[in-house]
A = this chain, B = another copy of it.
Amino acid sequence: MDNKEVTIHDIAEILGINSSTVSRALNNSPRVAQKTKDKILKKANELGYQRNDLASNLRKSKTFTLGVIVPRISRHFFSSAIAGIEETAFKQGYNVIICQSLESLEREQSIINTLVANRVDGVLISISMETENYNHFKGLEQRNIPFVFFDRHCNISNTSRVVIDDFAAAFTATEHLIQKKSTEIAHFSGPQNLEIYKNRFKGYKAALEKYNIPFKEELVITSSLMEADGIENTKKILSLPYKVDGLFCANDVVAIGAIKYLKKIGKKIPEEIAIVGFSNETISSVIEPSLTTINQSGFKIGQIATNLLLKKISNDDKKQIHETIIVKTNLIERKSSLRIDKD
């Protein structure tokens, strides 16, 4: 019936004691006698008391909450990263607020404002495709809110990040195509403001170079890497006066688009075109032919990034230590690149 919230003051008044004692009892402070604690706990349960974290956090200026910003949670890589983040955070008593930038810089900025306004203790970020200016991160820094990039990071100095070696992974992927006898290899790349796509591009180029395959600018197409882009990009590639027989995609989604389109027009994969993707989405093992791809454990990256963030949070020193942690990846060979070697 009564709409009012039960507070420690109500409990205190009913029991004829002071609210500070109630507070200490509920926090199991050694300064309260066991008998009193029992009495208070009993009454608190009876009244259905539930601490108001707003008040508590305000007073303590500590929320035990981490903000997480990802482009979209529906990506397998990100949802498994979130799983790793949550697991690690919960173990240490932290809650997690998950936010999606939906690849929009504006939303990313607004999310950061909200997280700051809610005084999260730290932030984990994988930046959006639109993100080119880094002022909003500077704001976090000024406010002394530690943050860690994972996967999609920024190239600002003095930040912590948990990433993979995109260059090496892309090199491996491209090398794999070359070993599978591809000689005219295209590359579907993503927005070049993102380090990861820049580095994957560099890795692709380096592999070509190593094997003395001439690099052709027209064979590299930059897009948002959605499925529809995969279809469009493939059309473009096929219209060129080259016989493309290999394709390295900067993510799996765009590769799926390519596969679907190539199947539709009757091109044989991998015989005519061998394909390698990046990320190992769930769908990639299911599509036919199954997609060879770079496997990066989102779960592990999430765990490591969270541990790093929590370390930064508990480090009272004013001067933040910045680290870059590189997580191993591996190539999963599947049918989209499985050419039967003739030798």
Contact = CB atoms under 8 A, between A and B. Distances in A.
Interface of A: 3, 5, 48, 50-55, 57-58, 61, 63, 72-74, 76, 79-80, 82-83, 86, 95, 97-98, 100, 113-114, 116-119, 139, 142-144, 256, 282-283, 286-288, 318
A216 to B, nearest CB: 31
Given A5-B61, A73-B82, 17 more contacts: A3-B144, A48-B139, A48-B142, A50-B113, A50-B116, A50-B117, A50-B139, A52-B58, A53-B118, A54-B119, A73-B98, A74-B79, A97-B97, A97-B98, A256-B286, A286-B286, A288-B288
Contacts of A144: 3
Contacts of A116: 50
A83 B86 CA distance: 20
Contacts of A142: 48
30 contacts: A3-B144, A3-B318, A5-B61, A48-B139, A50-B116, A50-B117, A50-B139, A50-B143, A51-B117, A52-B58, A53-B114, A53-B117, A54-B54, A54-B58, A54-B63, A55-B58, A58-B58, A72-B79, A73-B74, A73-B82, A74-B74, A74-B76, A74-B79, A83-B100, A97-B98, A98-B98, A256-B286, A282-B283, A283-B283, A283-B286
Contacts of A72: 79
Given A54-B118, A55-B58, A74 B63 contact: no
Nearest to A87: B102
Nearest to A116: B50
B52 A54 contact: no
A142 B283 CA distance: 44
Nearest to A64: B114
Nearest to A76: B74
Residue from the set A72, A76, A283 with the largest chain B CB neighbour count within 10 Å: A283
B114 A95 contact: yes
Nearest to A57: B54
A100 B68 CA distance: 14
Nearest to A119: B54
